[in-house]
Chain A
Amino acid sequence: MYVYDEIDQRLVEERVAQFRCQTRRFLGGKLSEEEFKALRLRNGLYIQKFAPMLRIAIPYGMLSARQLRKLADIARRYDRGYGHFTTRQDLQLNWPKLEDVPDILAELATVEMHAIQTSGNSFRNVSTDHFAGVAPDEFVNPLVWCEIVRQWATLHPEFSYLPRKFKIAVSGSAADRAASGVHDIGLHALRAADGEIGFRVLVGGGLGRTPMVGIAIREFLPWRHLLTYLEAILRVYNLYGRRDNLNKARIKMLVKERGPEKFRDEVEAEWAHLKDGPSTLIIEELERIALRFTRPSYEQAPEIELAKSGPIASWVQRNVHAHRIPGYAAVTLSLKKTGVPPGDVTADQMDSIADLAERYSFGELRVTHEQNLVFADVRKAELAALWGELRALGFATPNVGLLTNIICCPGGDFCSLANAKSIPVAEAIQRRFDDLDYLYDIGELDLNISGCMNGCGHHHVGHIGILGVDKNGAEWYQIQIGGNQMPAALGKVIGPSFARVEVPDVIERLIECYLDERESEVERFIDVVQRIGIEPFKERVYGGTPQEPAHRKRRLAIA
């Protein structure tokens, strides 16, 4: 966890004062709605369907117990006692009062938190692997790099009024858990043969209306040049990105319009001027930032055999993850219990989680882009005890990586951009697939739901993606399959959309088709789609004769 220094703290406090002044001017009638909108959006404040929504930044998903308690306190005092973790590793409050927001920000600043650039056309929260620093498959710990990029991207004088929002992800392991292929810039930290750290630089990925996978414009950028190179990319984008059409304003459209080669040439030409300039990174800065991170003081912990049977076994299998330190494991707290909107946590639960984080995981936790939480450093010897406590709180649903671990945006229940609701769809699907044995039989499956084109629920990269669409004012759902997060691949729409009540049946038919087609238990849904294409699935869904829902059939078979 990065600990602020005096300047980091001062900047956040100055931002609070600035926003307080802007709010005062608005409430005093000195700023129009329109003008205030442009300002509040730079600070994560939206005016939603029913109330303002405030998005609080959780830089690269890292949170301390102390910060979580503060969030609980804020949710209780200024909101309706709960918060919503987003796919951007942020926390959203859905019911704050506009005039309270400056006070909320001031409260956040007391625990080194803020809402800077959580919306608006500027750099958004830098995101990373939720197992950063603990994953056994990691070549480079991305956290220091995340913080360096965060500082550079915070209140950037030149790049605070970009054509559109801008998202950067950093990953440092083979399995790209940061989904860097679908970010405006994805940085893959690598180690050269001589040990030097550098980055593979991907540009132009993104979801939304025109989903695209990023293109590598540099295979190895030595670390010293990271900021000057980013600056070159951003300058080209800031000057030439489309500003006349919001839907074409993301950097991916510039890369597409120019063609990747030409785009890269422009960046390189710009970089030729900036390279080796003052923004070239120095080793002293890396060391300084690294030292400001708290590091867990690992003990000699016994390597113990994890339960392979009994009720804890499925939790161990799904929600416990390998750790690079012997005797330790990482644990996912599933926020996907059936009946609870994915990502929602109450203030009381936040307090309980903070307590558990202190007792079991060095007082720190992470937010994942799958809208779950992670305790990154749990001693294996304490897993059983932790499991018991999580179960009591409802966070031990053993569904990580499975169909019911649905990524779901707030959708029509909260978001004013939505075409359709998404939370009730998630719930209906979770209810349909409530049978754990069946869920395990289906195996790994990412199901993602967005309430509109903007794709906050990452539907494009779900193995199954559901998108809310509007047909003459009614809510419909388009279904796509074959998307994947790593390596990034975009799903294909299977055909005409469905009414909400039909969605669980459609999912069931897709699953049924998969189960019939798979060649072995290890072949996942996505593997089958990649092997046989979407046609057989289409056929199954639209093929005419209604099928008996598969799981009932299977249950009968089991019985």
Chain B
Amino acid sequence: MAVLLRNRRIVSDGWQSLEPRRWLQVGEDGLVPDFPAAADLIITPRLWALRREDLLERSGRLGLRLEPEDDPGAFAAELGHFALLAVNFPKFGDGRGFSIARLLRERYGYQGELRALGQVTRDHLFFMDSCGFDSFALRECEDPEEALSGFGDFSEAYQACVARPQPLFRRRLRA
């Protein structure tokens, strides 16, 4: 099982990612395959659109994996179905996922697990955490023990964000 950082701890990941094609293919019997009933599954928007009923019938939890070009607003009304949202970072420098995370948390009120996956390095962790991610599927070559220190790269930030909903200038005033 892959390791994961969740709430700043190293944990093993119980979620299973589904590759859409396989689950949309019609078999010899003329039917699409059944989903594992009890497993926690991370699906894609396409699978969700095409097999929503089947997915909802199961007892296991659902997670949805978004790509940087997906509009999180399109799922705003359905967020209650998902215990996990995963946002993919296909490249080190692709920062769209930071905006997506803030939108999910701040605008659409998503409270469940928000996972960063893809090119997630320790050097991203402070910013990702600030933007509302709480779990991190580090890229393969990253040492999870060492990566944990990335959360502490900075002790403050000027801006308002998910982790610090008030900007520094308002917090200063209160102190």
Contacts and interface: CB of A to CB of B under 8 A. Distances in A.
Helix, strand, loop or mixed for chain A's interface? helix
A152 interface: yes
B166 interface: yes
A363 B131 CA distance: 41
A174 interface: no
Interface stretch (B14-22, B59-67, B152-160): B152-160
B99 A282 contact: no
Given A235-B99, A238-B99, A155 B107 contact: no
A278 B172 CA distance: 13
Nearest to B169: A285
A240 to B, nearest CB: 9
Interface string B91-116: 01111101110100001000000000
A158 interface: yes
A14 B156 CA distance: 10
Given A14-B154, A288-B169, A157 B161 contact: yes
A238 B98 contact: yes
A127 interface: no
B167 interface: yes
B155 A159 contact: no
Contacts of B172: 7, 288
A155 B154 contact: yes
B95 A14 contact: no
Nearest to B142: A30
A11 B153 CA distance: 9
Contacts of A281: 169
Nearest to A160: B127
Contact of B95 (A18, A161, A282, A285): A161
A281 B160 CA distance: 12
Contacts of B46: none
B168 interface: yes
A169 B70 CA distance: 32
Nearest to B93: A161
Interface in B130-161: 130-131, 153-161
Contact of A243 (B94, B131, B166): B94
B51 interface: no
B123 interface: yes
A35 interface: yes
Contacts of A471: none
A258 to B, nearest CB: 16
A218 interface: no
A197 B169 CA distance: 19
Given A157-B127, A278-B167, A10 B156 contact: yes
B33 interface: no
A483 to B, nearest CB: 32
A273 B123 CA distance: 30
A155 B170 contact: no
A35 B165 CA distance: 31
Interface string B26-56: 0000000000000000000000000000000
B77 interface: no
Contacts of B163: 157
A454 interface: no
B98 A157 contact: yes
A157 B129 CA distance: 9
A277 interface: yes
A273 B163 CA distance: 19
Contacts, number: 93
B173 interface: yes
A11 B154 contact: yes
Interface string A146-187: 000001101111111110000000000000000000000000
Given A121-B93, A161-B98, A14 B169 contact: no
A47 to B, nearest CB: 17
A118 B102 CA distance: 26
A288 B99 CA distance: 30
B32 to A, nearest CB: 33
A352 interface: no
A279 interface: yes
A170 B93 CA distance: 27
A35 B92 CA distance: 8
Interface in A253-291: 273, 277-279, 281-282, 284-285, 288
Contact of A154 (B155, B158, B167): B158
Contacts of A159: 95, 98
Contact of A278 (B99, B102, B165): B165
A238 B95 contact: yes
Nearest to B102: A158
A22 interface: yes
A558 interface: no
Contacts of A489: none
B154 A151 contact: no
B131 A157 contact: yes
A39 interface: yes
A161 B94 contact: yes
A278 B92 contact: no
A243 B93 CA distance: 9
Interface string A37-67: 0110000000000000000000000000000
Contacts of B102: 158
Q: Which of A121, A239, A281 has the most CB of B within 10 A?
A: A239
Nearest to B126: A157
Given A39-B123, A158-B131, A235-B99, 11 more contacts: A7-B156, A10-B156, A35-B121, A155-B127, A155-B158, A156-B158, A159-B95, A162-B95, A239-B100, A273-B107, A284-B173
The 4 closest A-B pairs by CB, nearest first: A161-B95, A157-B130, A285-B169, A157-B127
17 contacts: A22-B123, A35-B92, A121-B93, A151-B158, A155-B157, A157-B131, A158-B95, A158-B99, A158-B127, A158-B161, A160-B95, A161-B94, A243-B94, A278-B160, A279-B159, A284-B169, A285-B169
